[in-house]
Amino acid sequence: YSIMKAFKKLKKIIDNDDFSMNSEVIILLQEAIEDLYNSYNIRETNEYVKVGTMQFESEIWILGENFRLFLKKNKRLKTDSVFENALWKIILEKKYKTGRQSFVLLLSDLKISNESKKMAGCLNDIDIYGHIISVLLKLKDFSYYKEVKQIYEEEKKGWIKQKCKKYIDSSIKSLK
């Protein structure tokens, strides 16, 4: 199995804009990601070890980015709660590691609930917390000032520290 097979699966739906149910897209997306993950025969353990980005993570990330482009053309998915739930299922599946980042960024494009509490729960997920902060910032949801400030004080990565600072500053400005 390769990323090309995953793309072909999605391309079938993306190119055929007359599908009747959004669930077709969602099912294909979830299948493509799971197939891609399984193709690497990764042994799951309870212990999380960060050994650098694995190939499957990059390929899942690329699928998410391509799906973002698809979402631009198919705006009806932006208001589909079934799609939002499926997106959360991908985001919350930790075995996909950094591959989930591009799917996190899709959250700011949705025109529905954007379940802020679920996002806050991801602020301790080392693979996606920087992207969660970006989404919270874009949505102007400043209800996690305390959590983001703590991340800012402990963060070493420049881009995440910068996002935290922007979130903190914007949060303070919103109170004025």
Report which DSSP code applies to 57: H
- pLDDT (tens, 9 = 90+) of the chain, 176 residues, equals 455 666 666 666 656 654 445 566 677 778 888 877 887 766 554 444 444 557 888 888 988 888 888 777 777 777 777 778 888 999 999 999 999 999 999 988 887 665 777 888 899 999 999 999 999 999 899 999 999 999 999 999 999 999 999 999 999 999 87
Question: Distances in Å between the alpha carbon of 102 and those of 1, 72, 95, 153?
Answer: 21, 14, 15, 25
pTM for this entry: 0.82
Residue 41: burial class (beta carbons within 10 Å; 0-12, 13-18, 19+): exposed
CA distance 35 to 81: 24
